Structure 1
Amino acid sequence: MAIILKGDQKISSVPTSKMKALRINLNSNIYGTFAEIGAGQETARNFFRAGGASGTIAKAMSAYDKDFSDAIYGIEDDRRYVTESRLKKMLRHEINLIEDRLDRKKHPEKLFFSYANTVTTIDFAKKFKGHGWVGIRFQLDPLEDYNEIVLHLRFKETEAKLQQETLGILGVNLIYGAFYLNDNPKELLKSFYDNIDKDKLEIDMINFSGPRFMYVDNRLMSLQLVKNGMTNAVMFGPDGNNLLPAQVLYKKNILALRGSFRPVTKVNMDMFEKSKIQFLNEKKVNPEKTQIIFEITLSNLRAEGEINERDFLDRAELLCSLGQNVMITNYQEYYRLVEYFSEFTKERMGLAMGVNNLVQIFDEKYYRNISGGILEAFGKLFYKDLKIYLYPYKDKETNEYIKSTSEN
């Protein structure tokens, strides 16, 4: 571990990738396989270079050819290769091979693992920066069932070589964290960026499973991704498992309802029902390809200071019990939320909001950080195929209703 001197104090930095890999290699009980598709054997390379890898690596492989990959792991229904289902097949297949080929009686103390990634790096035209799935399936006790950590990443760097190197460091961090930081999932999550700048990589989904993570609420881990600046938006479904926004929103009509939902009120649900009816009646909207989202901003969760995780989970539980998909974002301004949706779809979008929210949109203080001010923000907001559904407000003093029409 490197030591940095600052005045009379000694500040310990995080372990280097080589130190992490070496610690894994020197643990005689940790033994497993590496299967990496799409960006070279970058993670395995770190372990080979650290030394002592013969006691850790049972096999390292890449199945680049699609026919070979299909022959090993099977064919996906959608014929795609960079998917969560592909990654999980890889993890389970490799673990099953270890179990079949190594005699437990001969290796009673071994902790088996399989690490895998399936990614696509930046294309030649540099139009698509690339993304991928990374995961590990591992034991912490030979008599226990396997634990699993699966995450999705989006590359930000503009050279394939740099993306490959970043992926290799992330892989080392994941394997190290799985074995040495598993008792503190929040710290494990933060450790993914050890020796990696956040402007190189975005992690926008993660799920923990297995006996050692039975107490982990994946929605809370999803919140940590936004809170730690690893991504600007996360999503989870009614079952509590985290979802990949890009996958859920791809080429969909999107209707978003923003609120604090503390708790979900009759007004919230009435706004939802009325806007849903109008949105689905739009000629440009396909009901079968429509995604409705209840969105909570990070600033809303911080409204009373630090984020109260119990309060957050209470809100999440209620929304999930209503069968809703929930999104947590770092987009306080509506135009940024619409820009985010536009990354995944060009179809008609809708925002349901109250009059108070519409009034706030016209407050110039929200646009001081962009050169064009409020005009630029409105251009970005309404340049897209967007429609706003305004919920009326009753003025308590005049008893008059304020709504989108000129009538009171």
Structure 2
Amino acid sequence: MPITIMGDKEFESVPSLKSKALRINLNANIYGTFAEIGAGQETARNFFRAGGASGTIAKAMSAYDKDFSDAIYGIEDDKRYVTEARLKKMLKHEVRLIEERIKREKHPNKLFFSYANTVATIDFAKKYKGHGWVGIRYQTKPDEDYNEIILHIRFHENDAKLQQMTLGVLGVNLIYGAYYKYDNPKKLLRYLYDHLDKDQIEIDTINFSGPRFKKVDNRLMSLQLVKNGMTEAVMFGPDGNNVLPAAVLYKKNILALRGSFRPVTKVNMDIYKKSLNMFLNENKVNKDKTIEIFEITLSNLRAEGEIDEVDFMSRARLLCSLGQTVMISNFQEYYKVVEYFSNYTKERMALSMGVNNLIDIFDEKYYRHLSGGILEAFGKLFFKDLKVYLYPLKNHKTGKLTTSENLKVHPRMKELYKFFKYNGKLQDIVDYDPTIMDIFSREVLQKIQEGGTGWEEQLPDLIPEMIKENNFFGYKEAEKIQ
């Protein structure tokens, strides 16, 4: 690939869509199928138009009719078609057909692949802009097991034809990246937007699997999506795999706890457990339809302007080990978090935080970019069915506790504060554990890094062992100091 030198930086020139498709077509070993449902056959079309497709495309199909699609791929338990489960069935089914119909003895060097998508484009009323699942199952060596790259997209364009064209470009980028950029998944991810703008399409979930990606942690790939501006928030489950926010949050009661979790302490877990008990006792909160989210903002991951990915993975692995679902977001203000959740549910929500964090919420400087200022922000924050649970703060020197009753806010905010306080929107956590009030993450972190003692007792069970075994947060250096 040609490289243009400009000053002391290198800029790779982006290959054209046609040259990408043609390079795939001219590779005598790459051979597979295209199965596209919901937005034409835009990806396959690019390969047909590039020339030389006869040696690459075994089959291109669109099973648009639901009955016909069910006859090929089976019926989903939820009767839906634009789902990850459907996409995976499509990929596996098409690969199985290739292997059954093309004998390895005759084609020992073939690298089989199946590209598939199942999408819903914008509706006629232009109320729903559409979304979909896109993926590829493929080999990089003939005798190797299959790799998979699966992603979820959201369309932002307001025209179905434009969405189809955008999907076609993304498909070419994915197939090209799968074969020629698999050794650098971070670059592969960025190259998905070649010839595309982030205003056209959003990627909010991606998972890599297979022998080529055995060292890839999908949580780190999630971080790249937010870091690169491909989406505003991503989520991953306790197993470390990325999950689709819409699927996890849909019609759920949501309790969110924001923090740096560097590291997660007994205080964090006490806030979580006590606020969850309060939330489950609220009216209109169904325990079976409740999800708890540990949220880390991008600003909490930055160190000297850059995101420390090793530090991020330390936090992520610790939270996952505690069985938590984690969200990484680009939302600095709390009202944006609530707005985001509101895209997926109309059920009751709650935020849990230390009482000191409430001061930031009532700080006008965070809302100067809004025409309505803090009133607009609070309208967005509290017009939903929202509660805020507050954990008290203990003064180290005096031992005095700060709660919502004696919290000092700016004089201009006093009446606004009283309004929300006495309308039941702000509630103190009263059954807190008084024995852990002196634990602060930053002090624990300092002890870990400087070889201090006693920090183990301030963290949840098994967390200290994980930190030591994996040298999280500079613990390796701390051992040397000791």
What TM bracket, shorter-length normalisation?
over 0.9
**Partner of residue 100, structure 1:** 100
1:241-256 superposed matches below 5 A:
241-256=241-256
One-letter code aligned to 1:100: E
**Partner of residue 175, structure 2:** 175
One-letter code aligned to 2:324: Q
Per mean C-alpha deviation after superposition, the further-off stretch among 393-402 and 66-75 is: 393-402
Deviation at 1:266? Answer: 1.2
| CA RMSD of superposed structures (Å) | 1.8
Distance in 2 between residues matched to 1:88 and 1:396, nearest whole Å: 55
**Partner of residue 135, structure 1:** 135
**Partner of residue 236, structure 1:** 236
One-letter code aligned to 1:28: A
1:305-320 superposed matches below 5 A:
305-320=305-320
Deviation at 1:396? Answer: 3.1
Per mean C-alpha deviation after superposition, the further-off stretch among 10-19 and 159-168 is: 10-19
Distance in 2 between residues matched to 1:330 and 1:397, nearest whole Å: 35
**Partner of residue 80, structure 1:** 80
Deviation at 1:4? Answer: 8.8
One-letter code aligned to 2:286: N
Q: Verify: 1:394 aligned to 2:394, yes or no.
A: yes
One-letter code aligned to 2:336: R
Distance in 1 between residues matched to 2:31 and 2:181, nearest whole Å: 18
Secondary structure at the aligned position of 1:323 is classed as: coil
One-letter code aligned to 1:33: T
Secondary structure at the aligned position of 2:224 is classed as: helix
**Partner of residue 338, structure 1:** 338
Secondary structure at the aligned position of 1:257 is classed as: strand
Q: 1:119 to 1:407 in 2, by over 3 A?
A: closer
One-letter code aligned to 2:25: N
Distance in 2 between residues matched to 1:399 and 1:29, nearest whole Å: 72
Unaligned runs of 5+ in 1: none
Distance in 2 between residues matched to 1:178 and 1:299, nearest whole Å: 31
Deviation at 1:305? Answer: 3.3
Distance in 1 between residues matched to 2:6 and 2:323, nearest whole Å: 53
CA deviation profile, 1:177-230 (whole Å, cap 9, x unmatched): 000000000000000000000110000000000001000000000100000000
**Partner of residue 202, structure 1:** 202
Deviation at 1:397? Answer: 4.2
1:292-331 superposed matches below 5 A:
292-331=292-331
One-letter code aligned to 1:53: A
TM-score when scaled to structure 2? 0.82
**Partner of residue 19, structure 2:** 19
Deviation at 1:304? Answer: 4.4
Secondary structure at the aligned position of 2:283 is classed as: coil
Secondary structure at the aligned position of 1:350 is classed as: strand
Deviation at 1:12? Answer: 5.1
**Partner of residue 260, structure 1:** 260
1:40-79 superposed matches below 5 A:
40-79=40-79
Deviation at 1:405? Answer: 2.9
Deviation at 1:25? Answer: 0.4
Per mean C-alpha deviation after superposition, the further-off stretch among 387-396 and 112-121 is: 387-396
CA deviation profile, 1:275-330 (whole Å, cap 9, x unmatched): 00000000110000001000000000014432111111111111111000000000
CA deviation profile, 1:110-147 (whole Å, cap 9, x unmatched): 10000000000000000000000000000000000000
One-letter code aligned to 2:75: I
Distance in 1 between residues matched to 2:344 and 2:192, nearest whole Å: 26
Distance in 1 between residues matched to 2:407 and 2:329, nearest whole Å: 35
Pairs aligned (count): 407
One-letter code aligned to 1:51: G
Unaligned runs of 5+ in 2: 409-482
Q: 1:280 to 1:304 in 2, by over 3 A?
A: farther
Deviation at 1:356? Answer: 1.5
Q: 1:397 to 1:3 in 2, by over 3 A?
A: closer
Q: Verify: 1:117 aligned to 2:100, yes or no.
A: no
Secondary structure at the aligned position of 1:260 is classed as: coil
Distance in 2 between residues matched to 1:306 and 1:196, nearest whole Å: 25
Distance in 1 between residues matched to 2:4 and 2:214, nearest whole Å: 38
Deviation at 1:372? Answer: 1.1
Distance in 1 between residues matched to 2:53 and 2:407, nearest whole Å: 75
**Partner of residue 91, structure 1:** 91
